[in-house]
Amino acid sequence: MTHIVFGNASVVEPCDLMFVFGGIDPGLWKTALEAYQRGLADRLLITGGVKTQGLDPRTTGDPPESEIMRDELVAAGVPAGAIQVETRSSNTYENVRYALEVLDFESIASILAICTSRGVGRQTRTLQHALPGVRILPYAFHSEIRQRSGLLTPANWRDDDVGRRYVWGQVMRIFEYGRRGHLLPLTGISDELNALIHAALSDQ
């Protein structure tokens, strides 16, 4: 399950576009800044709108997530002209869906995807499904999850019930969103994992 949720290690190299997924974690814009300063992309598309509901009060309000991140990046020295923003989305699927309306991807052959490491599997699959033929390279950072202290990583998610539940939940979301046509479906999974997934679905 580790590679499904966290992805596999990949070589990082300069890309045509940096795609920043929406969210409230400062690690998103800080990681985007690091990638820009490393010369990994000179064009940025930042996604994320205003969430109208959610358990975390930090996810609601105005301005859009993408504009907050853009302002932080500009303040840190990234040229405003290098950044485009998408301001309507409220989840990963919409991040990509509405980004397609903001930017013409016709000339884009490679994308550096800025996201949390725990979001790599779901978010890169969403881009791959929407943009077949475009090379997607994740550039991720480890982050925290609720009710668990410390960063969640590929090496430690099995250490406690919270981490295990979270990763299992991500596997189920990837499977379900693949069935809905929102992302690249899971293929080549083991018979054991396939049985566990279908058993969980039958219990719902």
Query: What topology is assigned to 2-144 in CATH?
Result: Rossmann fold (3.40.50)
Average of per-residue pLDDT across 26-48: 98
pLDDT of 52 > 70? The answer is: no
How many Cβ atoms sit within 10 Å of the Cβ of residue 198?
A: 11
Dist CA 21 CA 5 (whole Å): 16
Q: Which of 186, 129, 145 is nearest to 55 (CA)?
A: 145
Average of per-residue pLDDT across 73-79: 98
Compute the mean pLDDT over every residue in the chain, rounded to the nearest whole number: 93
For residue 52, the Cα-to-chain-centroid distance in whole angstroms is: 20
pLDDT of 54 > 70? The answer is: no
pLDDT of 136 > 60? The answer is: yes
146/82: higher pLDDT? 82
The confidence score (pLDDT) of residue 59 equals 47
The angle subtended at Cα 74 by Cα 72 and Cα 76, nearest 5°, is 70
Per mean pLDDT, which range of 97-106, 110-119, 192-201 is the poorest? 192-201
Q: Which of 203, 173, 180, 131 is nearest to 1 (CA)?
A: 173
pLDDT digits (tens, 9 = 90+) for 163-192: 999 999 999 999 999 999 999 999 888 999
pLDDT of 55 > 50? The answer is: no
Residue type, 203: D
Q: Which residue has the tokens 């923003």?
A: 85
Domain ranges of the chain: 2-144
Q: Which two tokens stand for residue 120?
A: 């790599």
